[in-house]
Amino acid sequence: MEILLNKPGQKIILLGNEAIVRGALESGVNFVSTYPGTPASEIGNIFYKISKKAGVYFEFSTNEKVAMEAAAGASFSNLRSLAAMKNFGLNVASDFLLTLMYSGIRGGMVVFVADDPSCWSSAQSEQSTRLYSQMAHCPMLEPSTPQECKDFVKFAFELSEKFKIPIIIRTTTRASHQSAPVILGKIMKREKKAKFIKEPHQFSTMPPRVLEMKKELLEKIRKIQELSEQSKLNRGWASVNSKIGVITSGAPFLYVMEALKELNLKLPVLKLGFVYPLPEKKIKNFIKNLKKVLIVEELEPYLEREIKILAKDVNPKLEVIGKEKGPVEGGRIWRERKNILPEIGELKPEYVISAVAKLVGKRPRINFNEHLEKFEKLKIPPRPPILCTNPVCQYWSIIKAIKKVVDPQKVIFGGEIGCYMLFRHKVINLQDYLYCMGSANGIAHGISKATGGKQKVITFVGDSSFFHAGIPALINTIFNKSNPLIVILDNQTTAMTGHQPHPGVGKKPEEDGIEPIKIEEIVKACGVKNVKVIDQVASLKEFEVTLKEFLEKDETSVIVARHICALLEKAKLGKS
Amino acid sequence: MKNKNFNLVIIGVGGQGQITLLKVLAQAALIEGYDVKTSELHGLSQRGGSVEVHIRFGKEIFSPLVNQAGADLILALEFQEALRSLYYVAPKTKILINKYFLPIPGEPLISPNEILSQLKKFTSKIEIVEAAEICKKELAKEVFAGVYLLSFASNNNLIPLKPQSILKAIKKIIPEKYLELNLKTFDLAKG
């Protein structure tokens, strides 16, 4: 495994996420926890493979909040810990994070969060995690390249331990899933005896002590801000006499450099590695003599707003150009191209080339608008993702049964996050709403109560999703009595994110030999009376009959449709 | 190639092995001493949907994404998907197509002639290779068509990387149990 290669100075190709893993190994990380979610999934996948060899404790936790809490517990016990998740995972963990910031930590603790502009692998929203840094007062670093991914993680562990504060490393898809040569450092083995020393004064948040903790937190942030003013993570490229400059961070920085090269320009550039706290003096110094500054950033205009505020002090006439003005534009492909930069969707190098060109009054070599117009005329039919057909996904049997037995006009279908969110595909069309893990039954309950149980809801909940957040909503349908028919799609894995294990499959003898936690037992313990476990592929008829029977029930009913993911089944056959 | 960067987009349907091809190419570029960047997509986008991945190499590479109308070469692993690559195609761009169709669920198949007439509006440098057919016949595995296209491209000077470097990279990247078939595929496209 090349990622464990202990040859400092050697150059190997790493994916951004692999470089995050490497950075943690070079920091002597002891404890890693995660819940899978793309574009962050590889962090867990790699640690799952190497943890024994690397001497690191690793777990797939039941959800991101639990993962972060576990990592904090390890840090309280004086270990170095890493919790990794995708953007929506931080929403789940945020309840804990905001409080954790107040108390602080002991051993270095890094939280890795990956955003997904353009929603390449995200159903839910185009969320910007940067805004959490302000709300939580959590220092946040943003790497642009795999090399920086590795180096920033190492820096983050040092910073975290020095100030006893968790640090977020935030990437976007094009940083996490960018690969490039990385120069390796030394892998650090950090043998430290873990011990939790009691200190309730520090780790019990109760008023009025909690307000003192807030003071401690804000003082730490002030000090870290001072440090960020001097930090090499914020890099400037000067250019004499230019009255136009660019401020950027993360993957968009790469498009800025590409644009300057393409347009053969030398403009002053400030690349921010610290997105919170911002090096305000450094920014003020950068903008004080400029006439215009272009802000190149993805998702929310976070830097743009902050820089507008800073400009008021040092250069009130400065024109801060980004995406806040003009009509709302963008998408996976930015079609309108009227504004300087789009507000929706990820940035692409050609957008930044055009933006810089407009700013300095140059024309790009290629007429992008003309080319786009020609491309748009083609009207290529989209090919959205769909359930596997080769091998045949086990969910096709469920679709077949429902289409046979249920009148889709009379039933509402609620979805959740996993492969089965592809039930929205137009050739399947069995999804009337989709939000986040745990929400299918929460919403179904509301619909059932509102309509007096007249509009029946069938919900689809994945196995991993059920463990992640499905149980409270299920209990609510019993406690407050409603009548959804819940189909738990148990494919014995977390398929969409790359086949990670979950509590429902237990652990192999060579791991810890944990027995599977049976979904049907939990369901029964929650008070559900109508429960059946059916292999929908082997017993399609029984599945249909049960569907029919449960549709008539005036209370919650659950079918656990248990058949292993077709891809896993194929891989297992290949091995034997 | 001395001061120019090389920009390649591989387009196809999720599951056609784009990421493996990308890894091989990136390794080969590193072997030849180039700076290199790739951009790939994982997760949802891989489930039978359109997938495009990018690789750029040269003296100094910043962006992992190829510019609009900025590709030197397109490798299309599926015929219809070649259309989608036109976002990256300029008159200088070469398009190498695997003669292979995967229907788009719920859509009629677009005919090869229709596709070609659209492609020709953007570039005249189009080559169609019966990669899937040959791989199916010789190896009983269509999925190796990508490696076949790669070998074809390097042996016909469509990619400025030596076939030996790509072979070396294949040996490093491909797991032992698939190595022989991959090397065989690479040889097939030489002739």
Q: What is the value of ipTM here, to two decimals?
A: 0.96
What is residue A390's predicted lDDT score, i.e. its pLDDT? 87
Total Cβ atoms within 10 A of residue A313: 11
The tokens for A527 are 């008070």
Q: What pLDDT, in 10s, does the model give residues A84-104?
A: 999 999 999 999 999 999 999
Q: What is the mean pLDDT of residues A538-564?
A: 97
Residue A306 has a pLDDT of 98
Tell which residue, B98, B156, B100, B155, has the closest CA to residue B129. B98
With an 8 Å Cβ cutoff, are A39 and B43 in contact? yes
The answer to whether residues A466 and A519 touch, using CB atoms and an 8 Å cutoff, is yes
> In chain A, what percentage of residues exceed pLDDT 70?
100
Q: Which CATH architecture has domain A235-376?
A: 3-Layer(aba) Sandwich (3.40)
CB distance A272 to A266 below 8 Å: no
**0.90 surpassed by pTM:** yes
Kindly report the three-state secondary structure assignment for every residue of A509-555. CCCCCCCCCCHHHHHHHCCCCEEEEECCCCCHHHHHHHHHHHHCCCC
Q: Residue A14: enclosing H or E segment and its boundaries?
A: strand A11-15
Residue owning tokens 């037995």: A405
Domain A2-230 classified CATH 3.30.70.20?
no
Report the alpha-carbon distance of residue A54 to residue A204 in Å, rounded.
Answer: 34
Residue A278 in this model has a pLDDT that exceeds 60? yes
Average of per-residue pLDDT values in chain A: 96
| Residue range A296-342, pLDDT digits in tens | 999 999 999 999 999 999 999 999 999 998 899 999 999 999 999 99
Query: Beta A269-271 vs A235-237: how paired, if at all?
Result: antiparallel
In the predicted model, is pLDDT for residue A69 greater than 80? yes
pLDDT score, position A576: 53
Average pLDDT over residues A546-553: 97
Choose among B35, B37, B44: nearest Cβ to A496: B44
Domain ranges in chain B? 6-188
Q: Is A378 close to B90, i.e. CB distance below 8 A?
A: no
Whole-number Cα distances in Å, B66 to A544, B2, B57: 50, 19, 11
Average pLDDT of the residues in A372-400? 95
Model confidence at A441: pLDDT above 80 = yes
The pLDDT value recorded for residue B141 is 83
pLDDT for residue B142: 81
B32 pLDDT exceeds 60?
Answer: yes
Q: Is the pLDDT of residue B2 over 70?
A: no
Cβ-Cβ contacts under 8 Å, B87 against chain A: 333, 372, 375
A352 min Cα distance to partner chain B (Å): 10
> What confidence tier does B190 reach under pLDDT thresholds 50, 70, 90?
confident
Summarize pLDDT for A225-277 with one digit per residue, the tens: 999 999 999 999 988 789 999 999 999 999 999 999 999 999 999 999 999 99
- Taking only the tens place, the pLDDT of each residue in A499-525 is 999 999 999 888 889 999 999 999 999
Please tell me the predicted confidence (pLDDT) of residue A191: 77
A180 CB within 8 Å of a chain B CB: yes
Residue extents of the structural domains in chain A: 2-230, 235-376, 395-575
| Chain B residues touching A261 at Cβ < 8 A | 62
Kindly state the percentage of chain B with pLDDT values over 90.
82
A136: contact with B, CB 8 A cutoff: no
Contact (CB<8Å) A385/B14? yes
Distance CA A376, CA A334 (A): 11
pLDDT at position B1: 57
Residue closest to A243 by CA, chosen among A288, A307, A196, A181: A288
For residue A20, which amino acid is it?
I
Subunit contact B26:A13, Cβ cutoff 8 A:
yes
Band (A146; pLDDT cuts 50, 70, 90): very high
Taking residues B78-105, report their average pLDDT.
97
Which of A129-167 are b and which e, b meaning 16 or more Cβ less than 10 Å from the residue's Cβ?
Answer: bbebbeebbbbbbbbbbbbbbbbbbbbbbebbbebbbbb
Q: A366: nearest CA in chain B?
A: B69
- pLDDT tens digits for range A166-194: 999 999 999 999 999 999 999 998 877 89
User: Would the pLDDT of A106 be above 90?
Assistant: yes
The class (CATH top level) of A395-575 is alpha beta
The yes-or-no answer to whether A2-230 and A395-575 have a common fold is yes
Alpha-carbon distance B6 to nearest alpha carbon in chain A (angstroms): 14
pLDDT band at B119; cut points 50, 70, 90: very high
The predicted structure's pLDDT at residue A241 = 83
* CATH number for the domain running over B6-188: 3.40.920.10
The pLDDT, as a whole number, for residue A511 is 83
| pLDDT of amino acid A508 | 87
Cα–Cα separations (whole angstroms), residue A33 to A43, A57, A98, A553: 9, 8, 19, 41
A348 contacts in chain B (CB < 8 Å): 65, 67-68
Q: How far apart are CA A547 and CA A413, in angstroms?
A: 14
Provide the pLDDT for residue A572. Answer: 87
pLDDT number for residue A314: 97
